[in-house]
Amino acid sequence: MNKKMMGFLLPLLVLAIGGTLYATGKLPFGVGENGVALADTNAAGSGATELDSKDDEDKKTENPPVPVELALVEGRGIAAYYRAASVIEADRMVDLVSRTLGRVDQVTVEEGDWVEEGFVLAELENAREKIQLKKANLALEDKERQLQRSEKMLTEQLISRQEFDDVESAWKLAEAERDLARIALEETRIRAPFSGQVTSRMVVPGQQVVGSQAVFTLGDFSPLRVRVHLPEEVALKVSAGQRVLVSPESVVQPLEAVVERISPVVDPGTSTVRLTLLLAEDVTQARVGGFVKVRITTDRHQDALAIPKIALVEEGALRSVFVAEADTVRKVEVQTGLYDESHVEVVEGLFAGDFVVTMGQGGLRTGSPIRALNGLEIGYKSSAETDSDPAKLPDTVTVMAELE
């Protein structure tokens, strides 16, 4: 081929090769497979990358991890309680009344005094009764002398049996009169019917009282009791001898008591059953009439799966919790059982070893990122901590060695 022909074909060949490279996008200013210029594509790709990066930063700014506190789901003993309110009662608390009309002559005790059974607390004016008793004693002594003479005469057959019987009847009548006079005198004295403490004095010397008027209140405070009324279905879960905690308002620590007896009948007006609780003999902090709160155990589960009550999120009849998983949370509906002051039993929905959110649930929803404030305390590890777990280092080293 001559030089003239070569000079003509060479530019055509260069144009053909350049056009092919341009069409296939092999040149920096070529056209891609979708017909878009590479320069434009690169520019668009660079812009998209910058936008994606900006969106990621915005998302991180808009959804920062929520600081929360977690609790471990684990087994523990949990008991159900029934609470009631009542007052402390004395073993015996009675009003002592005057049995006759009269004026108070003397009062021998004051409120708070301890008295023994039979001690005279007060005495009415009783000069007339004393004289009547003395007269009755004299009459009885006279009849007794007559009876003794009549017995001797009957033995010697100096009198008939009828005459002796008349003298004996007169002696018995005089004895009865003496007893009536003694009772009349005794009725002017107010005595303690049992050993106890005077809780109230309602009379003073010189005061006129009438029959059946209350003059003192006497209490026997050993032991002390508390009576509570429980619904019938709750009372069926309680047994005699069961330990009960009683908390008076004036005492910091609760007092121990036992169920002494359970009424065998149900009050038809209230559908309740009366329980009588017996406080320990050495209780000195409680006072009769003091208001108390009673806590009675009605059921108990050993090694129950339980969580803190504050972890529950209640929405109407539904109860749920937030479970922590890989730096996020998942909302789980649960079914609960027994509960005490701090924990609630979970019957369904959780497993031992789960971690539930106890504080910070307000703004959470499924998928929300979290940051555990007490993770080290309860053994919770975030995803970053899990990835850097020393236990996983040998596997990583092996993989790297294989790659090398």
pLDDT tens, the chain, 404 aa long: 555 555 556 666 666 666 665 555 555 544 444 444 444 444 444 444 555 555 555 555 567 899 999 999 999 888 888 899 999 999 899 999 999 999 999 999 999 999 999 999 999 999 999 999 999 999 999 999 999 999 999 998 889 999 999 999 999 999 999 999 999 999 999 999 999 999 999 999 999 999 899 999 999 988 899 999 999 999 998 999 999 989 888 777 888 899 999 999 999 999 999 999 999 876 777 788 889 999 898 888 888 899 999 999 998 889 999 999 888 999 999 999 888 878 899 999 999 999 999 999 888 999 999 999 998 888 888 776 665 555 554 444 443 334 44
As given in the structure block, the two tokens for residue 374 are 């007490």
Q: CA-CA distance, 283 to 110, in Å (whole number)?
A: 24
Nearest 5°: phi and psi at 321? Answer: -140, 165
Which stretches of 25-160 are DSSP H helices? 38-62, 127-155
Distance separating the N- and C-terminal Cα atoms of the chain: 57
Residue with tokens 């920062």: 64
Q: Which domains does the chain have, with CATH numbers?
A: 3-62 (no CATH), 67-78+303-403 (2.40.420.20), 81-88+221-300 (2.40.30.170), 93-216 (2.40.50.100)
Strand pairing class (370-372; 355-359): unpaired
Residue type, 224: L
Q: CA-CA distance, 123 to 113, in Å (whole number)?
A: 17
Task: Give, in order, the Cα–Cα distances in Å from 252 to each of 198, 212, 290.
Answer: 27, 42, 14
